[in-house]
């Protein structure tokens, strides 16, 4: 009897112990349902008012980079103003997602073409089925790269990945909000491949979170301010780690560093040099607390030229 009572108490204790987890999952499910409902309502509003862009995924699908304004700014500031994008150029979209930037470029590359690739199957599928049929000179493919966040079952590592294009194939390449996630050795590989597929004199436009003396001072100043106000820090890189290639980097989440990665500016400049890319301009962003100006993006922008 004592054994049965003891066993029953143990089981009841286990059930009680699981309740917080059940409640947490229920809260997570409820939040997901609320988010989906709000997004669906906004999608309905866009459809009714005629603001729906058929090239941009509906919010309710949950695909990344659905906001059009950041894409428009990147095109205007990064590709047109800083890199001099022309209407007849052949362009490479590195980490194209569902085509946030590509959708903007369909109105600018009037006689040019665009190739894009990404590790996220759903995003590439959207771009293939919604953009390419309307704009056949815009093509997209899946890069089956191992990625802990987006493609855990990928067949190849970043260190071994070769861009699926021949040498000297593009006039311009860009990577928007791409190098803010991979570790530095992986970024170095991408830069080398970018230099390979660019024609001599071809331009590369990439965004980063660049760690330097100014950005560290600004972040520290902001962190003191938000701590005093009881707010949450949004762009901190408190943890320094070393990747498999021996390169240092900073992150805000050591358990999943790829969530947000900051690279030291001096290291990024060395990577460009070693890859065969001459840096011609750096436009520091306002992510760390710099003043927001018309010619400045949120992230840091680097424009380089293939030798």
Q: What are phi and psi of 115, to 5 degrees?
A: -120, 135
How many residues make up the chain in this entry?
A: 307
Per the CB < 8 A criterion, the answer to whether 261 and 187 are in contact is no
- Specify the pTM: 0.83
Tokens describing residue 213: 């003396």
Homologous superfamily of 68-212+234-306:
Vaccinia Virus protein VP39 (3.40.50.150)
How many CB atoms neighbour CB 128 within 10 A?
A: 18
Q: What angle is formed at CA 249 by the lines to CA 66 and CA 227, rounded to 5 degrees?
A: 70
What is the C-alpha separation between 277 and 205, in angstroms, rounded? Answer: 11
In angstroms, what CA-CA distances link 242 with 72, 183, 219? 35, 9, 21
pLDDT for 69: 78
> pLDDT tens across 112-140, in order?
999 999 999 999 999 999 999 999 999 99
What is the C-alpha separation between 80 and 251, in angstroms, rounded? Answer: 31
In sequence order, the β-bridge partners of residue 145 are 156
In angstroms, what CA-CA distances link 20 with 13, 34, 35, 206? 12, 21, 22, 44
In angstroms, what CA-CA distances link 263 with 74, 186, 210, 214, 246? 20, 12, 5, 14, 13
Mean pLDDT, rounded, for 24-45: 75
What is the C-alpha separation between 173 and 117, in angstroms, rounded? Answer: 12
Q: What are phi and psi of 177, to 5 degrees?
A: 55, 35
What is the C-alpha separation between 153 and 246, in angstroms, rounded? Answer: 25
How many CB atoms neighbour CB 260 within 10 A?
A: 17
Classify residue 214 by burial, with Cβ atoms within 10 Å: 0-12, 13-18, 19+.
middle
pLDDT over 50 (residue 3): no
What is the C-alpha separation between 262 and 182, in angstroms, rounded? Answer: 10
pLDDT for 182: 92
> pLDDT tens across 138-180, in order?
999 999 888 777 777 788 888 889 999 999 999 999 999 999 9
Per the CB < 8 A criterion, the answer to whether 55 and 97 are in contact is no
Q: What residue segments make up the domains of the chain, in order of their start?
A: 1-52, 68-212+234-306
> pLDDT tens across 208-233, in order?
999 999 999 998 887 654 444 445 45
pLDDT for 28: 76
Mean pLDDT, rounded, for 286-305: 95
User: Closest by alpha carbon to 90, among 181, 202, 242?
Assistant: 202
Place of tokens 């690279």: 263
Q: At what angle do helices 265-275 and 184-197 cross, to 10 degrees?
A: 30
What is the C-alpha separation between 189 and 78, in angstroms, rounded? Answer: 22
Kindly indicate the confidence band of residue 2, based on its pLDDT and cuts at 50, 70 and 90.
very low
Kindly indicate the confidence band of residue 23, based on its pLDDT and cuts at 50, 70 and 90.
confident
Higher pLDDT, 76 or 43: 76
pLDDT over 70 (residue 241): yes
Kindly indicate the confidence band of residue 22, based on its pLDDT and cuts at 50, 70 and 90.
confident
pLDDT for 67: 62
pLDDT for 20: 60
Q: What are phi and psi of 29, to 5 degrees?
A: -65, -40
């Amino acid at each position: 009897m004592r054994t049965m009572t003891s066993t029953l108490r143990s089981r009841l204790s286990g059930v009680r112990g699981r309740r917080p987890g059940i409640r947490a999952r229920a809260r997570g499910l409820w939040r997901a349902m609320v988010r989906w409902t709000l997004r669906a309502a906004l999608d309905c509003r866009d459809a009714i008012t005629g603001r729906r862009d058929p090239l941009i995924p509906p919010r309710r699908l949950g695909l990344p980079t659905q906001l059009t304004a950041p894409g428009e700014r990147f095109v205007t500031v990064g590709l047109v103003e800083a890199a001099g994008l022309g209407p007849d150029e052949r362009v490479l979209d590195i980490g194209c997602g569902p085509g946030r930037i590509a959708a903007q470029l369909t109105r600018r590359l009037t006689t040019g073409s665009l190739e894009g690739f990404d590790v996220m199957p759903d995003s590439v599928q959207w771009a293939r089925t919604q953009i390419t049929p309307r704009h056949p000179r815009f093509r997209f493919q899946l890069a089956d790269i191992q990625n802990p966040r987006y493609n855990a079952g990928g067949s190849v590592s970043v260190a071994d990945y070769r861009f699926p294009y021949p040498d000297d194939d593009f006039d311009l390449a860009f990577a928007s909000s791409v190098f803010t996630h991979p570790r530095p050795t992986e970024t170095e590989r991408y830069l080398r491949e970018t230099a390979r597929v660019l024609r001599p004199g071809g331009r590369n436009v990439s965004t980063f979170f660049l760690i330097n003396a100014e950005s560290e001072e600004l972040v520290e100043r902001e962190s003191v301010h938000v701590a005093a106000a009881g707010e949450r820090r949004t762009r901190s890189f408190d943890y320094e780690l070393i990747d498999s290639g021996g390169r240092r980097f900073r992150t805000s989440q050591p358990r999943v560093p790829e969530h947000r990665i900051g690279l030291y500016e001096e290291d990024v400049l060395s990577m460009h040099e070693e890859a065969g890319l001459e840096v011609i301009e750096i436009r520091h962003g306002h992510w760390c607390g710099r003043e927001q100006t018309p010619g400045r993006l949120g992230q840091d922008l680097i424009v380089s030229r293939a030798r």
